[in-house]
Amino acid sequence: SQQGEEDPQALSIQEGENATMNCSYKTSINNLQWYRQNSGRGLVHLILIRSNEREKHSGRLRVTLDTSKKSSSLLITASRAADTASYFCATVFTGNQFYFGTGTSLTVIP
Amino acid sequence: KAGVTQTPRYLIKTRGQQVTLSCSPISGHRSVSWYQQTPGQGLQFLFEYFSETQRNKGNFPGRFSGRQFSNSRSEMNVSTLELGDSALYLCASSFYGSGGLRGNEQFFGPGTRLTVL
C-alpha cells in the first residue's frame, strides 16, 4: 500500500502541552501534506512540505520531513481544546495522486 | 470564494439500490477527487477527474463510477448498493498546475453520509 501510516493512533494531552504525531510512508513522494478533520466533517488543509524541504512552520504547527527515513512529524505547540480532532498525513505522488493515512485522533483536555 | 459543496448531506438507501452524489468544486478548480471514509478503512481514494477526464482511479469495484462536467462539477454513482458501502463520501477540489514539485492542496467538502440498510 502507498498509504502513509500515522503514529500514534490516539493521543490525549492536557491543554498547553505539545502534541507530536508521526507519519511514515513507503515510496518516494512529490510532497506530503497534513490535514485536520473535526468529527464527521470534511478535512482542512494545514500545511504542505515538498520533498526537497526539511522543515516548515505555520503558526503553532511545525512539520519536518526526513526523506531518507520516509517519515514526517507534525508538532502542535501550546495545544488548545479546539485542536481536538483527527489528523491525517497525505502522501502525494507524481500525477497529483493523494494517499491518506489512517489518522491520529488527538484529544486536548481543558 | 464559496467552498466545496456536496449534495445531499445525508442519504439513506437500501441494498440493491443505486445512488448519485454531487460535488461542486471551488470556482476555478479543475480537479475533483472522491474519497470514501469508513471507521475500519480510513480514507480511501476513489477517483480523480480533471477537465472531464478520469485521471486516476483507486481500487474500487466497477459499481463505483463518476463523471465530471464542463463546469467542473462532478458526480459519483454507486450501483447495486451493499451494506459495506455505508460511509462518508468526501469530495475535494484543487487547482491543478503544471505538476512537478509544486503539488496542490486539496479543499474538501463537508461530505455526504450514506447509510445503506
Per-residue pLDDT reduced to its tens digit, B25-36: 999 888 899 999
* Tally of structural domains, chain A: 1
The CA distance from A48 to the nearest CA of chain B, in Å, is 7
Interface check for B25 against chain A (CB to CB < 8 A): the answer is: no
The CA distance from B99 to the nearest CA of chain A, in Å, is 7
Cell of B24: 461542486
For residue A90, is pLDDT > 80?
Answer: yes
Interface check for B86 against chain A (CB to CB < 8 A): the answer is: no
A64-to-A22, B58, B92, B101 alpha-carbon distances in Å: 10, 28, 25, 17
Contacts B106 to A, Cβ<8 Å = 33, 43, 45, 90, 98
Is A103's CB within 8 Å of B42's CB?
A: yes
Interface check for A61 against chain B (CB to CB < 8 A): the answer is: no
Contacts A44 to B, Cβ<8 Å = 108
SS3 of residue B102 by DSSP = coil
- The predicted model gives A41-48 an average pLDDT of 91
More confident residue, B11 or B31: B11
Q: What is the pLDDT of residue A2?
A: 57
Is A51's CB within 8 Å of B42's CB?
A: no
Interface check for A1 against chain B (CB to CB < 8 A): the answer is: no
Residue numbers of A between 4 and 33 with CB closer than 8 Å to B: 30-31, 33
Cell of B99: 505538476
Is B110's CB within 8 Å of A41's CB?
A: yes
Is A94's CB within 8 Å of B101's CB?
A: no
How far apart CA B64 and CA B69 sit, in angstroms, is 17
Q: Which of A20-24, A67-71, B78-82, B94-98 has the lowest mean pLDDT?
A: B94-98
Q: For B95-108, what is each residue's pLDDT tens digit?
A: 875 444 445 788 99
Cell of B112: 455526504
Residue A45's CATH number: 2.60.40.10
More confident residue, B43 or A94: B43
Given CA atoms A100, A102, A105, A106 in this order, what sign does their dihedral have?
Answer: negative
With bands split at pLDDT 50, 70 and 90, how would you rate the model's confidence at A1? Answer: low
Q: Cis omega before residue A110 (within 30°)?
A: no
Q: Cis omega before residue B25 (within 30°)?
A: no
Is B42's CB within 8 Å of A100's CB?
A: yes
Give the structural domain span for A62: 5-109
| Planar angle of CA B15, A3, B42, nearest 5 degrees | 35
Closest residue in A to B48 (Cα–Cα): A97
Residues A50 and A58: beta-carbon distance below 8 Å: no
